[in-house]
Amino acid sequence: MPSNAGSGNRREFLKSAGTVSLAGTAALAQPLLGRGAVSGDAPRPASTAGLPPLKITDVRVIVTCPGRNYVLVKIMTSEPGLYGVGDATLNGRELAVASDLEKHIAPLLIGRDPEAVEDIYQFLYRGPYWRGGPIQMTALAGVDLALWDIKGKRAGMPVYQLLGGRTRIGALAYDHASGNDFAEVEDGVRKAMERGFKVCRAQVAIAGLQGTYGTSARSKPGEVAGPAPITDLPSTELFEPEPYLRTIPRLFAHLRTKLGEEMELLHDAHERLNPVQAARLAKDLEPYHLFYLEDVLRPEYKESFRLVREHSTTPLAMGELFNTLWDCVPLIKEQLIDFIRCDLGHIGGITNARKVAALAEAFQVQTAWHGPADIGPPTHAANVHVDISIPNFGVQEMVFFPEATQEVIPGAPEFKDGYMMVRETPGLGTDVNEELAKKYPYQRAYLPTARRKDGSVQDW
C-alpha cells in the first residue's frame, strides 16, 4: 500500500507529467472553468497549480471491528497512489451509515473532482433535499475527511497547514477518570496527573443505581479506552436524578479536598437532567471551579440553558449530539455556553467544524470537540488539525486506542506532556490497513439504554 512518504516527489513528477500530457489536448484550449464531467459536478479548472485535473475513481467503505466497530471511507483518485481516508463511524448505527455511503453517496462521487471539498460538501448536504441527521452527517464527515486527506497529500502538507497554520504547539487534552466510589475516581485523576494530563473528566457510580453513564465501560483508571461490552442487544441501566444530584457535588468536594485546585476537572451530565435540575447541579458545583460541566440538558431544549445560566457561573459545554451548524447557533449567539463540543464525525467533518469554530469565535465560545473511543483515528486526527489551527480552541477529549485498532487504523494523534500532537506527514496522517481490517468483521453492538425505577425511558 503506498504511504504518505514521498508524496513530495510524486508531486514534482506529476507536475512535469501533467504539463506533458496536457500539451496539445483540448483541455488546454478550454477556458479555465469548463463544464463539470459528471452530473451535478462543480465547474472545474483545467489544472490546479500545474497539476493535472484529478478525479475520484473509487469509494471504498470498510467496516471493521478491531475491538469495536469502525466505518472507514477510502476515496481513490486518478493520480496513482493518491487516496484519502475518512472515518464515518456512528456508534450503534454503523451499518446504516455504511449503506448510505455505498448505495447513495459513492455513485455521486465517482468522476468528481476531489479537490472541490466545499462544493462536494454543499452538494451532498443540500443536494439530496433532506438535510442533517446523524446518519447523513456522519457519512458526509467520512467523505469530507478523506477529501481533506487527499488535499493535504497533494499539497505535500499536513491538513492544519491548509487550515491556516499553527496557532499552538499542541491541543490541551483531557483524560477520563471513573470509579465505583470517590477514592477510585481520585485514584484515576492521580494516574492521569502522573501521565502528564492537566485536565481530567470525573464520573462516579451512584449508589443504588446500576451502571451509571461513564463508569461501566472502563472501571480501571489509566487503561486504554475500552470498548463498550459487545452485546447482541442493548443493556438497560437505571437512573434517578435525586441521588445523582446529591452525589456529584460531593464527588467534586472530595476531589478538591484531596487534590487541591491545580488539576482542571470536568464532568459529563450526559443529557439526563431537566432544566431546574441542571441549574441546581451547575449551582452546587460552583465552589469546585470546574473547567466545564457538559451536556446538562437534552439537545432539544436549547432555550432551557438560559435558566442554568441565570443561576450559576459554572462554565457549560454542549454539542456532541448536534449535526448541523444551525444546531449550534442558538446557544452560541446568546452566549449560553462556554464550550462548543460538536463531534467532527457527526457534523460533516472539517468543512463544517471550521464554520462552527468561526461562529463560536465571534461570541467568545471555545471549542472542545467530542473525542471518545467510538469515533475512529481519522476523526481524532481531524480534531487536532482543527484545534491547532484556530484561535478559540479550548480543550480536546482524547483516548488511547488499543493495539488492534492502531494496527488496522494507524496514525492517531500522539499524546505528549498533556497535549495531543498530529503527525507532520501530508494529509491527516491516518490510514487504514484493508487486509487486516478483514480479520475483524463487524459485530452487532448497541449503546446501553436507561430507565427510571418506575420503568419509564430515561436518557442514558
Residues belonging to the active site: 213, 270
372 binds, among Mg ion, ligand KDG, none (CB under 5 to 8 A by kind): ligand KDG
CB nearer ligand KDG, residue 117 or residue 399: 399
Nearer to Mg ion (CB atom), residue 268 or residue 284: 268
Q: 279 with 308: CB under 8 angstroms? A: yes
Measured between alpha carbons, how far is residue 115 from residues 2, 83, 84, 196 in Å?
20, 12, 11, 39
- Minimum CB separation from Mg ion for residue 299, in Å? 11
CA distance 116 to 154: 13
Q: Which of 267/280 has CB closer to ligand KDG? A: 267
* 268 lines the binding site for Mg ion (CB under 5 A): yes
Rounded to whole angstroms, how far apart are CA atoms 245 and 250?
A: 9
Site string for Mg ion, 172-211 (x = CB under 5 A): ----------------------------------------
The DSSP code for 51 is B
Segment lying near Mg ion (by CB under 5 A), choices 57-65, 148-156, 174-182, 266-274 = 266-274
Is the CB of residue 56 less than 8 Å from the CB of residue 105?
Answer: no
* Residue 271 touches Mg ion, criterion: CB under 5 A: no
For residue 218, the minimal CB distance to Mg ion (Å) is 14
Q: Contact, 86 vs 124, CB < 8 A?
A: no
Q: How far is the CB of 299 from ligand KDG (least distance, A)?
A: 12
Instruction: Name the residues that contact ligand KDG, by CB under 6 A.
Output: 91, 268, 270, 320, 370, 372, 374, 397, 447
| Interface with Mg ion, residue 343, by CB under 5 A | no
Q: Is residue 192 classed as helix, strand or coil in its secondary structure?
A: helix
| Residue whose CB is less far from ligand KDG, 383 or 425 | 383
By three-state DSSP, how is residue 279 classified? helix
Q: Which does 374 bind (CB under 5 to 8 A by kind): Mg ion, ligand KDG, none?
A: ligand KDG
Q: How far are the Cα atoms of 7, 171, 194, 197, 251 from residue 262, in angstroms, in the given order?
A: 44, 19, 13, 11, 16
Position 257, amino acid:
T
Nearer of residues 91 and 212 to ligand KDG, judged by Cβ: 91
Cα 204 from Cα 227, distance rounded (Å): 18
* Three-state DSSP class for residue 427: strand
Residue 175 binding result from ligand KDG, Mg ion, none, given CB thresholds of 5 to 8 Å by partner type: none
Residue keyed to cell 457534523: 347
Binding site for Mg ion (CB under 5 A): 268
